[in-house]
Each structure stands twice: as structure tokens, then as C-alpha cells.
């Protein structure tokens, strides 16, 4: 298969992630068939895509005529057969539960063309263990970040049986969508970003639970320091500026004690007990009560678009420094 042979994409699962992924593909001109077991998800999916496009137009990242053109390229269909018919790429974005993924892979295997590539959006699962073995050579993890129509990173994880030609098709295809795919050469739980976030989470809970800092000040500290610095230097290049000798000495600083592993941090547990789950219940770390959930999400996306748009120069493939 050549990249120009890709004409139709099937997106299986129209929950939180599916609609944004479908939107990016359709905006780039591909025919998209969305499918979900739960047809009640379709009106919301359509609404979310239309709202997302409105925001892109407002940010100058899409033209007003793109709204109708993109919507016309997305068909939300009744059956898996209709979705997979003629699709060169199958995007699996169903619930993150092993039995659900496994059953969906068996269904896909029965229907999809033998040449079709299967891209899983799993965040954590080793889906290579769940896939029908005959499909492994054309299966790859293609992990988008929420909101997928805004954030450029896509983690692409090659399985031990994934054919090199599948990797060689997937990466340029995603770049053609304006994304920044990064290849992970073998499955490791959490890939890159969720591994890093896990460590940052542990330190966040430690600092907050021990009363060293408020959530507001912790967030300000991050936004005013490592967030912009990371945009210029990432994580690895930063050591060239710190100096690797100093980095080595820091590793052996005996006064620095790592936060203990704590799977029951008060910061999380106390809020879960009160049903303070975040924007879905109107209150979590911060209080959003009295505001419409969709408006809060829209504002978040508006700010994210502003940031991503103005920092594009940091995402050029050629090195900044």
C-alpha cells in the first residue's frame, strides 16, 4: 500500500476521542466512517466536531467553508460492516477495557480488508496481546492526545510483529495531517508521556499532601518555568545547558529524598470520596460550579490553540539550538 492509496478511514468508537480524530482526518480531505455500538453518542459527536471546527476557524486555523466540507466527509454509520467497507485504515478508539478491545479486534478481523492497517488509540494496554495474530503485522498503536484536534503529538508504538512498511506509511501520513508523530520502537507501558506524568503526579501529590504548596502556586510554578523551557529544550537537551557534571552530582545529593510511592494520596482520595471528580462533576481541584461544562472545555481548547499556534516554531523538525 502507498500513502496515496489511503482514501477512507474507519473510526471505531465515537466517545471522547473518536470525534476529534475523525475530524482531523476529514479536515485533511479523507472520507471518514465513524461507528459506535452506542448510537446515542452520534448527536453529541456531531456537535463536538462542529464546535471544534468553529474554534479552529476562530483561531484562524481553518477557513469558514471547512466546516461544511469537513462535516460532509464524516458519515456516522449503523454497522461495523459499513464502517470498514473500503477502509484502508481502521482507527480503534473504543473503551480502554481489555475484553472490549479484544472483541472489537475479532469483529474487525472478520470484516476488514486483509491490507487494512489497524491503529489503536490505547493509552496503556499492550493491545498486541489482544489482537488476532494474523493481523499483527499491520497493527500499530497510534496514540493521540486529548484534545486530538489541537495537540500535535501522536505516540506511534511499533509491536514486535508490526511490519516496517506499516511504520513507514503511518509516520508520514500523520505528518501530512499536521501532527508530530514520535516513534516508540517497542511496547512499554505508558509509552513516553504517561510514564513522565506518572512521576510528576507522584511528586505533585507529595508536595500538596504535605502542605508545602497550594495547587494554585504549584500550577503557577510549572507554567512560569519548566513549561516554557520544555518548549525550547524538551527534556533531554536541557541537560546540555545544566551540564552533565552537575546533573551527575545532583543524582548523588543525599539531602534530596524522593517522594515515596503512594497509591492512596490524600489529594486524590479525599476528592474521589466527595465525588469532586473535576469538570465532569463541576468541582475537583478547582471549582467550576455554575459554569457550563461545554463552555469550560471550549475555553480550555481556545487557550490551548493560542499556545500551540504561537509556539509552532518550537515544533519544527530541525533543531532550534
Ligand X SMILES: NC(=O)c1ccc[n+]([C@@H]2O[C@H](COP(=O)([O-])OP(=O)(O)OC[C@H]3O[C@@H](n4cnc5c(N)ncnc54)[C@H](O)[C@@H]3O)[C@@H](O)[C@H]2O)c1
Strand, coil or helix: what is 157?
strand
Tell me if 315 contacts ligand X by CB under 6 A.
Answer: no
Rule CB under 6 A: which of 285-314 touch ligand X? none
Binding mask 245-274 for ligand X (x = CB under 6 A): ------------------------------
Query: DSSP class of residue 253?
Result: -
**CB closer to ligand X out of 17 and 55:** 17
Nearer to ligand X, 196 or 221 (CB): 196
> Does 149 contact ligand X by CB under 6 A?
no
Binding mask 214-233 for ligand X (x = CB under 6 A): --------------------
Cα–Cα distance between 316 and 314 in angstroms, integer?
A: 6
Per rule CB under 6 A, is residue 123 in the interface with ligand X?
A: yes
Of the ranges 59-67, 89-97, 177-185, 275-283, which one interacts with ligand X (CB under 6 A)? 89-97
89 vs 233 by CB, closer to ligand X: 89
Task: Work out how close the CB of 75 gets to ligand X at its nearest, in angstroms, rounded to a whole number.
Answer: 15
CA distances from 91 to 36, 135, 316 (A): 12, 14, 26
In which region does residue 72 sit, left (phi positive, over 0), alpha (psi from -120 to 50) or beta (all else)? Answer: alpha
Residue 38 binds ligand X (CB under 6 A): yes
CB 250 within 8 Å of CB 256: yes
Coil, helix or strand at residue 44: helix
Could you give the angle at the alpha carbon of 74 between the alpha carbons of 71 and 77, nearest 5°?
Answer: 135
Q: Which stretch binds ligand X (CB under 6 A): 9-17, 199-207, 232-240, 307-315?
A: 9-17
Q: Which residues, 6 or more positions from 81, have their beta carbon under 8 angstroms from its beta carbon? A: 111
107 vs 219, which CB is nearer to ligand X? 107
Q: Annotate 269-320 with DSSP letters as a single string.
A: HHHHHTT--BTTTTBSSSB-TTS-HHHHHHHHHHHHHHHHHHTGGGG-SS--
The residue nearest ligand X at its CB is 15
Applying CB under 6 A, does 204 fall inside the site for ligand X? no
Instruction: Say whether residue 14 binds ligand X (CB under 6 A).
Output: yes
Smallest separation (angstroms) from ligand X to the CB of 12: 5
Interface residue with ligand X, options 62, 74, 104, 305 (CB under 6 A) = 104
Choosing from 146, 197, 277, 307, the residue that interacts with ligand X (CB under 6 A) is 146
- Smallest CA-to-CA distance from 59 within 231, 295, 308 is with 308
**Binding of residue 122 to ligand X (CB under 6 A):** yes
| CA angle centred on 53, ends 48 and 59, rounded to 5° | 130
- Identify the helix (H) or strand (E) that includes residue 67: helix 66-73
Residue 171 interacts with ligand X (CB under 6 A)?
Answer: no
What's the min distance (Å) between Cβ of 320 and ligand X? 27
Under the rule (CB under 6 A), what is the footprint of ligand X? 12-18, 36-38, 41, 93-96, 100, 103-104, 121-123, 143-144, 146
Amino acid at each position: 500500500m502507498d500513502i496515496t492509496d489511503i482514501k477512507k478511514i474507519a473510526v471505531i468508537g465515537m466517545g471522547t476521542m473518536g470525534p476529534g480524530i475523525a475530524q482531523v482526518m476529514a479536515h485533511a480531505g479523507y472520507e471518514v466512517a465513524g461507528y459506535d455500538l452506542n448510537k446515542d453518542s452520534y448527536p453529541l459527536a456531531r456537535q463536538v466536531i462542529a464546535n471544534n471546527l468553529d474554534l479552529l476557524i476562530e483561531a484562524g486555523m481553518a477557513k469558514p467553508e471547512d466546516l461544511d466540507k469537513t462535516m460532509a466527509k464524516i458519515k456516522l454509520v449503523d454497522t461495523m460492516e459499513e464502517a470498514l467497507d473500503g477502509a484502508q485504515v481502521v482507527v480503534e478508539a473504543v473503551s480502554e477495557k481489555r475484553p472490549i478491545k479484544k472483541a472489537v479486534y475479532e469483529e474487525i478481523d472478520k470484516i476488514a480488508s486483509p491490507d487494512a492497517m489497524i491503529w489503536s488509540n490505547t493509552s496503556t494496554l499492550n493491545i498486541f496481546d489482544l489482537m488476532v495474530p494474523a493481523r499483527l503485522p499491520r497493527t500499530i498503536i497510534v496514540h493521540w492526545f486529548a484534545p486530538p484536534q489541537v495537540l500535535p503529538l501522536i505516540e506511534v508504538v511499533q509491536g514486535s510483529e508490526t511490519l516496517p512498511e506499516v511504520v513507514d506509511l503511518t509516520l508520514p501520513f500523520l505528518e501530512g495531517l499536521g501532527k508530530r508523530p514520535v516513534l516508540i520502537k517497542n511496547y512499554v507501558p505508558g509509552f513516553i508521556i504517561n510514564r513522565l506524568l506518572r512521576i510528576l503526579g507522584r511528586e505533585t501529590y507529595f508536595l500538596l499532601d504535605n502542605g508545602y504548596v497550594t495547587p494554585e502556586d504549584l500550577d503557577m510554578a510549572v507554567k512560569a518555568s519548566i513549561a516554557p523551557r520544555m518548549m525550547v529544550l524538551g527534556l533531554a537537551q536541557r541537560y546540555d545547558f545544566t551540564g552533565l557534571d552537575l546533573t551527575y552530582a545532583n543524582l548523588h545529593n543525599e539531602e534530596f529524598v524522593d517522594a515515596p510511592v503512594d497509591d492512596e494520596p490524600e489529594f486524590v482520595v479525599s476528592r474521589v470520596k466527595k465525588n469532586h471528580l473535576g469538570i465532569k462533576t463541576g468541582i475537583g481541584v478547582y471549582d467550576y460550579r455554575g459554569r457550563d461544562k461545554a463552555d469550560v472545555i471550549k475555553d480550555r481548547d481556545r487557550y490551548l490553540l493560542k499556545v500551540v499556534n504561537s509556539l509552532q516554531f518550537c515544533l519544527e523538525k530541525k533543531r532550534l539550538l
